[in-house]
Amino acid sequence: MADKEVLTEDRGAVRWIRLNRPEAMNAITGTMLGELNDALKAADDDPQVRVVVLTGAGRAFCAGLDLKQAAAGQGIGGAGLATAGARHLSTREICTVTLQRMDKPVIAAINGAAAGYGLDLALGCDMRLMSDRAVLMPGFAKMGVVPESGGTWYLPRLLGWAKACEISMLGDTLNAEQSVGYGLANRAVAAAELESTVSAWAEKIAGNAPLAIQEMKRLFRHGLTQDFESHSHHVLMSVLNLFRSNDFREGVASFAEKRPPKFTGR
């Protein structure tokens, strides 16, 4: 397990996916991209998994591009860019695309610095909880690149045009309080409380009706590109399908009987 660059752990219906290059602040490699892509797809396909948590080992979430490798002409960003992790650089296999396509909710537990690709990974999650020691580092312009793995898509939608330009073009590091203030993070908590807070959120979501949770996420995603009338028809079809589910019947019954529901995802 120690040599794997991405680790997974199931805690009930919650799957934790952990980037595992702590000595390099979880800087990305072609191997890491492949393992992460596979882990995300496996979690989305596993009926026992209801929520995914993405985090980093050690003191960082993900430092982005491995600059030492790049400076040496190696790895992603080095001379081997055209061939490094080739199958993971195709549109079908880019793990940030996989992340955006997932129907299972994903929480980013930002335990430390999220920079470059790591920031884009965090933005691709549905919710972001930050340690008060963590920072977001949108320093793309200072490195001569752009947010290449989702940031140019997410930032205008999360912040609006002007704030997206401010964040990306100034390139200033944002602490946890600033990140919450901008709307880039849901909450900042003490570092010692991050894992327990994320677990509480994940377990609460996992206890809700999984079919409804996944359909909410799909509808949010479709709603980004649909007009209101088309989206309303789409929502109606989804509701009619959910009315036929065992989970809906269980939700109604548990409410009437004043007891916690036991959803099965059917």
State how far the Cα of 264 lies from the Cα of 138, in Å rounded to an integer.
Answer: 41
What is the four-CA torsion angle of 86, 77, 82, 1, rounded to 10 degrees? -20
Q: What's the pLDDT score for residue 81?
A: 46
Average pLDDT (152-165) is 94
Q: What is the pTM of this model?
A: 0.89
Q: What's the pLDDT score for residue 67?
A: 63
Cα 189 versus chain centre, distance: 18
To the nearest whole percent, how much of the chain has pLDDT over 90? 81
Question: 65 pLDDT exceeds 90?
Answer: no
Do you know the residue count of the chain?
A: 266
Average pLDDT (152-179) is 94
Average pLDDT (68-92) is 50
State how far the Cα of 40 lies from the Cα of 131, in Å rounded to an integer.
Answer: 23
CA separation (Å) from 80 to 30, 43, 72, 76? 10, 30, 11, 7
Residue 94: pLDDT band (50, 70, 90) is confident
Average pLDDT (84-93) is 48
Question: 156 pLDDT exceeds 70?
Answer: yes
Q: Which residues of 163-190 are buried (b: 16+ CB within 10 A; e: fewer)?
A: ebebbbeeeeebebebbbebebbeebbe
**What mean pLDDT value characterizes the chain?**
90
Q: What's the pLDDT score for residue 77?
A: 53
